[in-house]
Structure 1
């Protein structure tokens, strides 16, 4: 099936074990990095098993890409989502009754409707695959309420194996996925999270737009630049365009048809660089992305890992560049804290603290990243900014004493920037008025 339908000569790490477990009717939890081949873990069983496979997918664009890909392989698949007319949906329902399809992609909201569950119960269902399974967990970085209901599937289909798949889950999230989906003694496969061809790089953010332009002008091939807001996306895309760089902005504020055109043009190499919010990228299967640049600090290591995972899927060298400014962190914390759900806010703040620690790390970045996902590594990777240009240590006792002495003389009552200005001897009006320019420090 692997060779004749999909054209591959051999399985990637873990695929055959997962497929064998599903064929033995065992629940599965599959943790594979972005681009690691998760889809084949349920697509091949879908073709080998007698009935219909239901795939739960969170995004319309993701469903469309997957189904389009399967149709090119000659596999009968369809998706049901809110973009379809009632007539289109009714045709697919009829096709399901007539055993016309092997895979149906559906959003969790529709899947859990009683009318849809009743329809499925009249069919032979062989497998239920939950893609982006971290969405089911409160500990996941992309929690969605509709995913929580999926735990009821085991009650409706007790004999049907359920497979959860994700590229990003720490230990707490993995345990919670199994619990929330009601997986019974699941076969768990955890692939390596290491992508050795991606170079992790970080620079201090100071003139961010100029830094981006300078970096992009030195690159060859495709790239994605992530920003935390739509306005930043628009401003940066405009700045790149003014420099004659073949780029486009992408965010949820654009019309759906415009987003579709931009996404298609990027995949077909008509656009070199996409400047985007996190709305872009899930399900993008483009092998020749040479870099992913983060204009702002992501809100979690999971988000960061998922986004940089869109680079270098062809196995060739690629770069993940993070612009880091510690001043951004307090703004992001404030933003997270303003959420409506205090319990969720606490989880997100905890995840952001890990991302902040990654940005401030003085040890091999790959080591920090892999350790977060419980893939403990003692060796240095040799392919990150810390390994290639290690931070230089210096004897800082006297400097530290001066700082503490100055804090004491300022009666421990000033902001850090004011302290820095005094230590540097800046002749600012406020400093002179307070006679702090006369301090010995």
Structure 2
């Protein structure tokens, strides 16, 4: 095949003049009529040999930004993907649309790896997925040098940041790709990066001269909600029962529940199962075969809920996750955004639900105090936590605060909990003074420090054995806070901690004042607090678009889902690899009566039309015929 030479950013490039256009590949292979956002500009830039850094939200179509250039350029696109457990499904999804894709990882036999290597060397692959650990070996690099590389795509590029939430040491070695293959374009992609992480990606991956594409981080289909933690497993169960179903009364939806500890993961999954939810536990302590089984069920079956530590979900391509719930406070806004972004990748309405309480703050502060590393490291962790607390405690639009963290200004969304049910704010100056005064008196008069529970007992006048043991019923502040409930006092303490007007100390999380506390005690500074009851008020549920179909269309949609489930089971692939819900909904509305009428329906390219067209038309005609 003849080629022409060109130059991008001073780099020699090769362009195939007889190759189809990017838009032709988008339609013929992937079944989409047009690009979204920056996709076309990215594809064209990388397609002619340019380097790029792409910051685009989960579900924004990052994969197409390297898949299409790999199909347009001579050679094989090498994709660095951090989780080998997901490579199989990533490759299956590409094969389903006619792309020649393979992976190389430790799950394969020697014969399987040999077959993939021969295909690569023979120029028979469009895309090859490799883990960063494998690519860092000299043996792998020498092997790749023997073939022709179209581009390098570094997925989940935020993993290069040592201060980020998902650091992977092997990503650091990827910077030398520029030296070894100076003429091969590189594209680094991530769904989450602050300005600092963005700079670190450019520096560590030697992409200082790359073109930067920063899309909006907004995911308007996700409804962000944060509730006050109070019997969190019961709260979670109620949330799943009321909103964890498609359309409110349809079949169960897929969801992910995140917790910090393995023990909490196990107990929560057990509790949900005991209450009728198809829930599975996932954490690093499980045998690899069990983790693979859990992940396979989640990807291949409808209505499965995974309860997991943050080890689960990176790179998950399942598009129809309807909710992501956190029952422990995330350590950073980056981590929270990355995890919630696993909901609603198909663009359908989804919910990000977080339960957060006083113990979360105390636990996180203690973990920071006890973390290894120098003072600068602990300060960085504290800054991450402070930003997360600010998001939780905001009385404004959560989406505005979330996007501002990533350097993006926006207007109130009208779809998060604080927009739908604006929280009430009250003057908490006097309660704050009562609490801080109690902390000061205990330290000054008795050289004692206590945790939140004991301070609340003193303020409320609760005559507990511990209060009597220490004679704290003789303190001047004894019983002066009886006008607030225990839960309200816990809210006061939590918000003072979040505002830096109170701090925790030591292994047991005792409470101490800060420099700013003096301004409150002296009356120089007032304290505004949000009313606790505002956090449990119900808000309008997010409803999948399929719920808005009329009765006949909804029945056709469900018939198509049933057909898809059987097709996926027979093929041994996740249902979304056959078709996503958005495509099934489009079919239900269009009601094609012939295979040719499937052309133009989103998500149906040439290969899928040939593979499934006849069966889809049969399902449609069967339902439409029965309704007439």
TM-score above 0.5 = yes
Task: Map 1:156-305; keep pairs closer than 5 Å.
Answer: 156-219=180-243, 220=245, 221-305=253-337
Deviates more, 1:221-230 or 1:342-351: 342-351
Whose Rg is larger? 2
Query: Among 451, 467, 470, which residue is 1:431 paired with?
Result: 467
2:40 matched residue in structure 1: 16
Query: Among 40, 50, 59, which residue is 1:26 paired with?
Result: 50
CA drift of 1:213 comes to 1.5
TM-score (norm: length of structure 2): 0.67
TM-score (norm: length of structure 1): 0.93
| 1:126-174: CA deviation from partner (whole Å, max 9, x where unpaired) | 2111001111122322111111011111110111111100001000000
Task: Map 1:302-341; keep pairs closer than 5 Å.
Answer: 302-336=334-368, 338-341=370-373
| 1:97-153: CA deviation from partner (whole Å, max 9, x where unpaired) | 111111111111221222222222232222111001111122322111111011111
Matched-pair contact (CA < 8 Å) for 2:262–2:283: yes
CA drift of 1:390 comes to 2.3
Work out the CA distance in 2 between the residues paired with 1:430 and 1:119: 69
| 1:324-373: CA deviation from partner (whole Å, max 9, x where unpaired) | 01322332343355555446555444323322332233322111110111
Segments of structure 1 that go 5 or more residues without pairing to the other structure are none
Work out the CA distance in 1 between the residues paired with 2:270 and 2:470: 45
Task: Map 1:397-412; keep pairs closer than 5 Å.
Answer: 397-407=429-439, 409-410=441-442, 412=444
2:406 matched residue in structure 1: 373
| 1:185-229: CA deviation from partner (whole Å, max 9, x where unpaired) | 211111111111211111111211111122212121222111112
Work out the CA distance in 2 between the residues paired with 1:36 and 1:348: 29
Q: Per the alignment, do residues 215 and 128 of structure 1 end up closer, same or farther by CA in structure 2, a change over 3 Å counting?
A: same
1:351 aligns with 2:351: no
Q: Give the RMSD, CA atoms, in angstroms.
A: 2.1
Work out the CA distance in 1 between the residues paired with 2:364 and 2:418: 25
CA drift of 1:86 comes to 2.2
Matched-pair contact (CA < 8 Å) for 1:75–1:102: yes
Matched-pair contact (CA < 8 Å) for 1:288–1:314: yes
Work out the CA distance in 2 between the residues paired with 1:13 and 1:397: 47
Query: Among 446, 450, 463, which residue is 1:415 paired with?
Result: 450
> SS in structure 1 opposite 2:426?
coil
Q: Per the alignment, do residues 257 and 392 of structure 1 end up closer, same or farther by CA in structure 2, a change over 3 Å counting?
A: same
Deviates more, 1:340-349 or 1:197-206: 340-349
2:176 matched residue in structure 1: 152
Q: Per the alignment, do residues 401 and 46 of structure 1 end up closer, same or farther by CA in structure 2, a change over 3 Å counting?
A: closer
Deviates more, 1:50-59 or 1:339-348: 339-348
Q: Per the alignment, do residues 91 and 338 of structure 1 end up closer, same or farther by CA in structure 2, a change over 3 Å counting?
A: farther
Work out the CA distance in 1 between the residues paired with 2:35 and 2:323: 27
1:73 matched residue in structure 2: 97
Work out the CA distance in 1 between the residues paired with 2:371 and 2:351: 33
Deviates more, 1:123-132 or 1:264-273: 264-273
Query: Among 144, 164, 173, which residue is 1:140 paired with?
Result: 164
> SS in structure 1 opposite 2:178?
helix
2:111 matched residue in structure 1: 87
Q: Per the alignment, do residues 264 and 410 of structure 1 end up closer, same or farther by CA in structure 2, a change over 3 Å counting?
A: closer
2:562 matched residue in structure 1: none
Matched-pair contact (CA < 8 Å) for 1:139–1:176: no
